[in-house]
Amino acid sequence: MEADTQTKTSAKADELEHVSRPVGGTEHSWCRSVPGGTGTTVLLLLLSKPIPVSFLQSALYTLQINHPILRSHLSFPQDSPPIFSIPPSPSFSINTKSLSSPFHSLLELELNENPWSDPNPDETVPVFFATIYESPKLDESVLALKFHTAACDRTSAASIVMELMDLMAREGTEGKGGIDEVAIKAGIEDLVPKKDTYKPFWTRGKDLLGYSLNGLRSCTLQFEDTDAVRRTEVIRLVFTKEETEILLSECKERGVKLCGAISGAALVVARSSKQLVAGQSETYSVVTLTDCRKSLEPPLDKHNTGFYYSAITNTHTITGGEGLWELAKRCHDSYSDSISNRKHLRDLSDLNYLMCKAIENPHLTTASSLRTALISVFEEPVLYNSCDVQTSLGVEDYVGCASTHGVGPSIGVFDTIRDGQLDCAFVYPAPLHSREQMKNIVNNIKSVLLEGCIHVDLD
């Protein structure tokens, strides 16, 4: 089967030569952050039956032919930016391990096993790994897919897992859409329209100063342990269908997106988690991650694998008397205004520069924690609806998120609406924040959201 599939796809491989290019600015910032523990993207699938390894091998081969960036290797020269090196055909192996841990534990294990933690200038490292966890006693297995975020953003990851399942269901035969060559030619900066790249020198300096000052005056959640070695942990929060319908309906009525509601609830909870006197103000930073594909030249879609997101950072000062929807609207309007002013494109290089400076100078952040925001959210959730393909493979559960214990927010929210239910993975750095602390924060965020939907907050 594997040989037949490789024969069918070899014609595609023959069209490409060995290609290499330096990483772009945004990709470079991820190459700087991943060794420290931020930017290892993991997709985990729980299946109710063993995975046919031959089908998976063939499917991964076809997937990497269709998306050359997934078969690339990163090299790290000492005196120049990292380099994507893309061979004309895949060369990889699937790791197999015993399934001896619960699904949640495997997710955290994969997030904290970092093949890019110690880049060697004399070696290259693949950007994509696959591992099968199998149980000899139970009729179940787990498939773990791990990506370097420079080569695969959230939209890419969600699209890849659907494409992979489709290929596996069809026994690894040739996929749809042809070869996606965009990412092997250019990073996001080279695809931004010229009208959105221009920024006068003094304007750039003013923006950099503004971002820096806002970052310095922003508050964080209480830290539990600032000295111990950190790892990424995850708390998962699932809403019922009814709760999801009510929340989305209320967001629509209020004119805010779900990300605005989650951000607003996080601001309420962060402020109330501290022993502050009435009226005492605190300022928090919120990062909204937006998919830029439709704004690029040429416009891209979810089939284009690579990193095409931009971060929008806004600060909000809170006194403690604000309600959920007041803050949700404030969060929504601030990032919407930034998008209208094209700041998500014009400020790409500024935010990449500041991210790298924080990595180089941890002391510039509170308690050298490398926390650059209270929370990061995605402008749009991932939409996932079960279908016959997933049923035939026995897919019981699915979760995707990225590590954040290097540089990043205290809370990274990865939200999916799956079969009508809101499913959120709240990712955080431990033991900087403890699991007990974050469970309280996450439960309170849910309570604030649901109470707001029954009009407890009458702003």
pTM: 0.92
For residue 4, pLDDT beyond 60: no
Higher confidence at residue 84 or residue 459? 84
Mean residue pLDDT across the chain: 89
What CATH number has the domain bearing residue 152? 3.30.559.10
Same domain, 247 and 148: no
Whether the pLDDT of residue 196 is over 70: the answer is yes
195 and 176, same structural domain? no
| Same-domain check for residues 319 and 221 | yes
- The domain boundary, picked from 130, 161, 187, lies at 187
Write the secondary structure of 332-371 as one string of H (helix), E (strand) and C (coil).
HHHHHHHHHCCHHHHCHHHHHHHHHHHHHCHHHCHHHCCE
Helix (H, G, I), strand (E, B) or coil at 146: strand
pLDDT of residue 456: 45
- Whether 458 maps to a domain, the answer reads no
**Does 254 lie in the same domain as 392?**
yes
CB-based burial label for 31 (10 Å; 0-12, 13-18, 19+): buried
Copy the structure tokens of residue 153: 């953003």
pLDDT at 130 over 90: yes
Q: Are residues 375 and 293 in the same domain?
A: yes
Q: Which of 192-201, 218-227, 351-360, 428-437 has the lowest mean pLDDT?
A: 192-201
User: Any idea which of 102-106, 349-353, 426-430 has the lowest mean pLDDT?
Assistant: 349-353
Question: Of 187, 207, 241, at which residue does a domain stop?
Answer: 187
For residue 59, pLDDT beyond 80: yes
154-178, pLDDT tens digit by residue? 999 999 999 998 898 876 555 555 7
Q: What is the pLDDT of residue 430?
A: 98
| Cβ(71)–Cβ(87) below 8 Å | yes
Give the mean pLDDT of 2-20: 55
Percent of the chain with pLDDT strictly greater than 90: 70
pLDDT at residue 7, as a whole number: 45
> In CATH, what number is assigned to the domain containing residue 423?
3.30.559.30
Please determine, for residue 6, whether its predicted confidence score (pLDDT) is greater than 80: no
Reported as type and span, the H/E element at residue 247 is helix 241-254
Task: Identify the domain containing residue 429 by its residue range.
Answer: 191-453
* Amino acid 40: pLDDT: 97
Same domain, 219 and 165: no
What integer pLDDT is reported at residue 294 of this predicted model? Answer: 96
Please list, in sequence order, all residues whose beta carbon lies within 8 angstroms of the beta carbon of residue 241, skipping any fewer than 6 positions away: 419, 420, 421
* HSE-up (13 A, CA, CB side) for residue 435: 7
Please, what is the Cα angle at 45 between 64 and 142, to 5 degrees?
100
Tokens 């030569």 found at: 17
198-255: pLDDT as tens digits? 665 556 565 666 666 667 678 999 999 999 999 999 999 999 999 999 999 999 999 9
Report how many domains make up the chain. Answer: 2
In this prediction, residue 53 has a pLDDT band, given cuts at 50, 70 and 90, of confident
